[in-house]
Amino acid sequence: MQRVKEKAIELLRSGEVSRVLGWKTGEFFYDLTPAVFESVEEVEKGFVFSLFSGANLSKYLIAESKKEGKIAVFLKPCDSFSFVQLQKEHRIKRENIYAVGIQCDGMCDGESLRSAGCEGMTGVEDGESLTVHTLYGDQVIEKKEALLGKCQTCKSKRIVDFDELIGQQGEDVPSDRFAEVAKLEAMTPEERFAFWRTELSRCIRCNACRNVCPACSCEKCVFDNPVSGVQNKAVADSFEENMFHIIRAFHVTARCTDCGECSRVCPQNIPLHLLNRKFIKDINELYGDYQAGADFDSRPPLMDFRMDDPEPSVIYTRGGAAK
């Protein structure tokens, strides 16, 4: 873990880059936020790479890579998919970026630790299982229990694009990430409707999902645009809760790398990733496996077609979409 910070210092010191995009501590040690460091001193003082560096840094490159000078960025495997997807969409200037890939065994979530009963945490030690130091003594927690939701269904340990690697290059790993979607699909429409009403009705339109999502990076969102015809800033009723999330999911269809940031940041704990994953699952089933950001040249399924694509009526008969 220390190697990451050392690398950041080394890159700044050698003049390879003029800025470093990384993480710094927030209010608590488990509450890390993305930050740009402009000097060795700043890194030494504030840069943190720990079990809580879950945040995906790729999105910040849209703005940062357009600035003067080169910037270093640290990318976990799942972040590298967003990084590549953004390059495919010409959103970032690759030549201004020095990408350091870092292997990852899953990131942890402070909230999970707290709900596991850790009060007054002062630090965490990684190991076979986690040793949590608290004001009231040490506690041992299974790492599995503390993992972020997105890390529990990790799909790949492969770092798609990088200039330098810390740790080993990994491979795609088997994941049962569609299990939850399949569970929902197996419900009756009434149950599904009730499920999503319960979830989406909590939405307060804080736009955290939109702000964190690397795919949701429009110059101006349609929901903020008075001429789009769908402008709306606050949800007034159930329709608008649905509308926002349906359209948002549709707009990131086949562009979403399933990085899971939307659900991670949602203050209302709405499982937003289940919307995106539904589209990913459908695409895989109907048009062949596709992983956004896994390569540089595949054609996104919504910008592609085959003559013998299934008709829309397929959803009436397909397994899983049980009535």
- 283 binds another protein per the rule CB under 8 A: yes
Interaction between residue 182 and another protein (CB under 8 A): no
Residue 49 or 279 with smaller CB distance to another protein: 279
Among the residue ranges 1-9, 25-33, 125-133, 276-284, the one whose residues contact another protein (CB under 8 A): 276-284
Tokens of 199: 């979830």
Q: Rule CB under 8 A: say whether 81 interacts with another protein.
A: no
One of 135, 227, 234, 297 touching another protein (CB under 8 A): 227
Which residue from 42, 79, 240, 258 is in contact with another protein, where contact means CB under 8 A? 240
Pick the piece of the chain touching another protein (CB under 8 A) from 21-29, 70-78, 204-212, 224-232.
224-232
CA neighbor of 76 nearest in space, from 98, 106, 97? 106
97 Cβ contact partners less than 8 Å away, ≥ 6 residues apart:
61, 65, 70, 71, 72, 73
| Strand pairing report for 164-166 and 97-102 | parallel
Give the whole-angstrom CA distance, residue 271 versus residue 263.
5
Cα dist from 231 to 203, 206, 228, 263, 275, whole Å: 17, 15, 6, 23, 21
- Exactly one of 1, 140, 173, 194 binds another protein (CB under 8 A); that residue is 194
Cβ at position 234, least distance to another protein in Å? 13
42 near another protein (CB under 8 A): no
Closest CA to 168 of 235, 102, 239, 89: 102
Q: Which stretch binds another protein (CB under 8 A): 100-108, 170-178, 222-230, 290-298?
A: 222-230
Residue 198 interacting with another protein (CB under 8 A)? no
215 neighbors 252 (Cβ within 8 angstroms): yes
Q: Give the one residue of 27, 95, 128, 219 binding another protein; rule: CB under 8 A.
A: 219
Q: Among positive and negative, which fits the CA dihedral 282, 59, 52, 76?
A: positive
Residues 31 and 59: their CA atoms lie apart, in Å, by 19
Which of residues 106, 167, 271, 300 is near another protein by CB under 8 A? Answer: 300
> Is the separation of the CB atoms in 240 and 248 below 8 Å?
no
The answer to whether residue 315 forms part of the interface with another protein (CB under 8 A) is yes
Among 9, 40, 182, 222, binds another protein (CB under 8 A): 222
298 contacts another protein (rule: CB under 8 A): no
Q: Which residues pair with 172 in a beta bridge?
A: 156
Residues that bind another protein (CB under 8 A): 66, 89-91, 184-185, 189-197, 217-222, 225, 227-230, 236-237, 239-240, 242-243, 246-247, 249-253, 275, 278-279, 282-283, 286-287, 299-307, 309-316, 321
